[in-house]
Structure 1
């Protein structure tokens, strides 16, 4: 499921500040990056299954590996994990309404905070 028009897709910010802010919201980059892209995930372990809120971005300046980059964010995604195949983001997936609401709140709060540090 794609969260469109959150406003996040219009924001650019410094990678180091973004990492700190994302961590505050339980979104962790871990090893999910290359020199031009980042991916932040938050796991939701519910009775209906495992779900991931994913926020991605790409470097418009600098290098992620050097920890000096300006990141342009993209539309966030919500996916359901299926062992051992991976995460599905399709429209045919079931996402609990309470989870969708929780993710929308996280993304709204995140947008407000990123706007204060946006470049």
Structure 2
């Protein structure tokens, strides 16, 4: 499921500041990066299953590996995890109402924090 109205699409931030913001909101980047892209995940374990809220970004300046980069954020996705196949993002997936509300609130906080960096 895409969060096309999240407001974070197109926002830019310094990688190190972005890492801090995302960590504060429960996301991890771990090994999910290359020199031009990053992926932040927040895991939700629920009775209905395991879900991941993912925020993607790519470099507009610098290098992620050198920890000196400016990242432009893309449209966040919410997906359901299926063992052993991985995460499915399809619109036909069921997403609990509470999960959608929590995801929306988290994305609003990220938007506010990242927007404040660019003032």
Structure 2 length-normalised TM: 0.98
The alignment's C-alpha RMSD in Å is 0.9
Q: Identify unmatched segments of 5+ residues in structure 2.
A: none
Q: How far has the Cα of 1:7 moved from its partner?
A: 1.2
**C-alpha distance in structure 1 between counterparts of 2:2 and 2:30, whole Å:** 22
What is the match of residue 55 of structure 1?
55
1:99 and 2:96 matched: no
Number of aligned residues:
119
Q: How far has the Cα of 1:6 moved from its partner?
A: 1.3
What is the match of residue 75 of structure 2?
75
Structure 1 length-normalised TM: 0.98
**C-alpha distance in structure 2 between counterparts of 1:118 and 1:105, whole Å:** 21
**C-alpha distance in structure 2 between counterparts of 1:61 and 1:69, whole Å:** 5
**C-alpha distance in structure 1 between counterparts of 2:79 and 2:70, whole Å:** 26
Q: How far has the Cα of 1:33 moved from its partner?
A: 0.1
**C-alpha distance in structure 1 between counterparts of 2:46 and 2:29, whole Å:** 21
1:4-83 matches, within 5 Å, as 4-83=4-83
Q: Secondary structure at the match of 1:92?
A: coil
Q: Identify unmatched segments of 5+ residues in structure 1.
A: none
